[in-house]
Amino acid sequence: MRFYTQTHKYSCGIDLHARTMYVCIVDRDGNVLVHRNMKSAAEPFLSVVAPYREDLAVAVECIFTWYWLADLCAREGIAFVLGHALYMKAIHGGKTKSDRLDSQKIALLLKGGLIPQAYVYPPAMRATRDLLRRRLHLVRKRADLIAHIQNTASQYNLPPLAASLGRKHQRKGIAEHFPDPVVRQMIELDLRLIDTFDAEVRVLDQDLALKAKAHDAHAYHLIRSVPGIGRVLTLVILYEIHDIHRFPTLQQFASYARLVKCTKESAGKPVGKSHKKIGNSYLKWAFSEAAVLFLRKNPKAQQYIQRLAAKHGKGKALSILAHRLGRTVYTMWQTGQPFDKERFMATLN
């Protein structure tokens, strides 16, 4: 957890919404100078903070509407702090909760150096990252359609379909598998939608790869040098990390990517694990997929996993391999060196 500890003459806390925002500005002594509700727009905001621009910092909780405010502050030279929503317990723990109170709490947390920071993703690559996340949403919708076809066959107690319907040639003649004309019409609708998703995702993948090479071609090719990490996983890792140097240590990167579990202790004694879902879920998925794909046509890695599985179980064994791959990608990106298969395999003992 990183706190924003830089001091400013004025601290501005904003409880931000899509159409309105509650603004609170306090001085170094905690005196409230401004406390009002206003429209979520650039002109009203700049007008309110104008008398305090001399030394002002603005803090807002990390919700989906923060992009425009962060970009506005960057253009105007105003310090901007993005608060990590899951860590800002002081806002949500009060007996009474309102926009007015929340904005004042954010301002006071900022003044006291107690704002837990989230990463302010720069605008140059931010839209592409969001497009990539949208691609994942479309792929999941496509998977739902395939699952619906297979579940419908089970629902009507029909003979099982092919093990996978992921490829177009595996879906030939599927509609005829259902004798009821209305059910067949429903399945044909699913198939048409799957074909549409396939075409859109194919074009999107090509476009995203071109954008990634334009943004950071060196990092793109470094990540792709790891066996098992193909184009899509490379795009996810590249855009979710953005800049590897924002993680000063390997441990911080592994924690952010959910590759390690966080321990809790009291009086020197461990009391379990906590906050398993704090971190980047997309990176966790990418490295977990990479671990499975890394095992293909790799007998030595398969032997390594079998030894780990005998000791820890298959799930934890794959998590250990995913952690190793994550550490490797971090080191590669920091040093600028491509994947060294012989060196990596030598560590699998």
CATH number at residue 63: 3.30.420.40
Buried b (16+ CB within 10 A) or exposed e, 177-216: bbeeeebeebbeebbeebeebeeebeebeeebbebbeeeb
Task: Please indicate, yes or no, if residue 230 is contained in any of the structural domains.
Answer: no
Q: Are 100 and 141 in the same domain?
A: no
- For 212, the domain range is 125-224
Q: Are 76 and 133 in the same domain?
A: no
Q: How far out from the chain centre does Cα 54 lie? A: 35
Question: How many domains, in total, are found in the chain?
Answer: 3
Q: What pLDDT sits at residue 278? A: 83
Q: What pLDDT sits at residue 275? A: 65
Q: Are 261 and 339 in the same domain?
A: yes
The structure tokens 């509650």 sit at 22
Task: Please indicate, yes or no, if residue 233 is contained in any of the structural domains.
Answer: no
Q: Which of 190, 224, 258 is the last residue of a domain?
A: 224
Q: What pLDDT sits at residue 277? A: 74
What is the pTM assigned to this prediction? 0.89
Q: What pLDDT sits at residue 63? A: 87
Q: Which residues in the chain land under pLDDT 70?
A: 90-94, 271-275
Q: Are 151 and 203 in the same domain?
A: yes
